[in-house]
Amino acid sequence: MAETDLSDERGLTEEQKLFRESISDWGERNLPLERVIEMNREGHPFPEDIIQGLADLGVIMGPVPEEHGGMGLSWKDQSIIEEQIGYIDPSIATAAGFMAVETGWGFTINRYCNEEIREKYIKPAIRGEKFVGIATTEPKGGSDVAGFESTAEKDGDEWVLNGEKTFISGVEECQKIGGGYWVNVRTGPKIDEAPHKNMTAFFVPIDTDGLEPQEPYDDAGRGSLSTSGFVMNDVRVPEKYMLGEQGKGFYYTMEGFDNARIMIGASAVGVTRRILEEAADYIKERETFGRPLAKYEAIQFPFVERYTEMEASKLMVRKTAEMQDVRYDETGWGEKTGDPKTYKPTEIAKWISMIKYKVPHLAKDTADDAMHWLGAAGYSSEYVFETAWRGVMSYCVGAEGGANIQKIVIGRETLGKDYVPYK
């Protein structure tokens, strides 16, 4: 842990303070920065002892209700947990892979799945024994979520899935420990004016016949967590593995994105804080021309600018998580995509897009700055900055939706629907 402490616990509940303390203690013992850097160098699959450790710590899928194996935590609680996970693992592989994906998407799967899936996959994933993820992106549909081509046809009480999913987090890990994916397919013809119609979500176990995992990509960052994809050749899943209702997949997917993006925003706050603390230790110590680096405005000013943005982002993330709590509180467990009285879901989505766009960029830019502040040392993997920079970039370029897509949502909600660029 850095000597400089930029955390501010004011405003947290007693429990939230303890969450942070436990995660820090666990991190110091099991995931010090040296291990984070080493894990990234060694590559995937993600180490099982860390998966198990996170599960034992109880940080995966906290908002899932207690009766379904979770803890019924608020999104605010979970965002504070996620922030601290980002703090201990600024490579963002932990925060991204096992926390954000499983928490955001696992929680949403659990809202729409049957008891069998819950027992066989959700509960074990919370215990660290399985992995659940999301497979929506396809070669022809990334940002354009409804622009995909995979299909499912009904055959008796089964559905037969065909198509290809690409850039999917955790496939290798899922193969290794078991689990499955939320897979979006088309269960009817593509309607050009409304391509999101006929989109249906299924839960597909990774070991289903006809599902062929692809070779992982050699990604720039997040080295310890795999990104790959799979081809589906006549993959058969029972009708009961459909998530929610037929044709509603697009709406559920938007809900899943909302939940996962809150987690991304929160973890990026933690990443930024860690980078600033580690950098502060160095610039206070390192002298050039007889003075510590921290005394030069050229270094101190961007440092405090990033710090200010980090605190602003933290407040935004917490407000957004609170909005999401209102959404789930008011619509109640089991309701379909919520329509709370206090905020419109699109308004909540706007805030979620604001943090998803802003905070990963802040973390990336702060890592970039820190490398400048430290010079050659910052560029080397002795320090965590370059690992963090490469990792968090994944959330700028695309993972859980690229920055431009977030801006389109923010623009739509501020300027009005008439100004959506691509319509």
Ligand X SMILES: Cc1cc2nc3c(=O)[nH]c(=O)nc-3n(C[C@H](O)[C@H](O)[C@H](O)COP(=O)(O)OP(=O)(O)OC[C@H]3O[C@@H](n4cnc5c(N)ncnc54)[C@H](O)[C@@H]3O)c2cc1C
Positions in the binding site for another protein (CB under 8 A): 14-15, 17-19, 21-22, 25-26, 29, 56-59, 62, 71, 73, 81
Residue with smaller CB distance to another protein, 53 or 180? 53
CB 3 within 8 A of CB 281: yes
Q: What are phi and psi of 235, to 5 degrees?
A: -80, 120
Per-residue CA distances from 302 to 23, 230, 279 (Å): 29, 43, 12
Contacts of 182 (CB under 8 A, 6+ apart): 105, 108, 109, 132, 133, 134, 135, 136, 201, 202, 203, 243, 256
ω before 360 within 30° of 0 (cis)?
no
* Total residues binding ligand X (CB under 6 A): 25
Q: Which residue, 25 or 339, is less far from another protein as judged by CB?
A: 25
Smallest separation (angstroms) from ligand X to the CB of 229: 9
352, 184, 324, 178: which is closest to 253 by C-alpha?
A: 184
Instruction: Say whether residue 394 binds ligand X (CB under 6 A).
Output: yes
58 binds, among another protein, ligand X, none (CB under 5 to 8 A by kind): another protein
* Out of 78, 84, 224, 227, the residue judged to bind ligand X by CB under 6 A: 227
How far apart are the C-alpha atoms of 408 and 46, rounded to whole Å?
34
247 counts as binding ligand X under rule CB under 6 A:
no
Instruction: Count the neighbouring beta carbons within 10 Å of the beta carbon of residue 403.
Output: 17
Can residue 143 be called a binding residue for ligand X (CB under 6 A)?
yes
Q: How far is the CB of 100 from another protein (least distance, A)?
A: 16
Give me the least distance between CB of 256 and ligand X, in Å please.
10
Min CB(400)–ligand X separation in Å? 6
The residue from 43, 58, 142, 195 that contacts ligand X (CB under 6 A) is 142
> What CA–CA distances, in Å, run from 86 to 93, 172, 389?
9, 22, 13
Q: Is residue 411 near ligand X by the rule CB under 6 A?
A: no
Task: Examine residue 243 and tell whether it contacts ligand X (CB under 6 A).
Answer: no
Please, are residues 117 and 126 in contact by the beta-carbon 8 Å criterion? no
**Contact call for residue 136 and ligand X (CB under 6 A):** yes
Report the Cα–Cα distance between both ends of the chain, in Å, rounded: 49
Among 137, 228, 366, 387, binds ligand X (CB under 6 A): 137
Supply the minimum distance, in Å, between the C-beta of residue 273 and another protein: 17
Nearer to another protein, 22 or 246 (CB): 22
Distances (CA, A) of 22 to 30, 36, 53: 12, 18, 12
* 385-to-86, 295, 378 alpha-carbon distances in Å: 13, 21, 6
Which entry of ligand X, another protein, none binds 73, CB below 5 to 8 A by partner kind? another protein
Residue ranges binding ligand X (CB under 6 A): 101, 133-137, 142-143, 167-169, 219, 222, 227, 394, 397-399, 401-405, 421-422
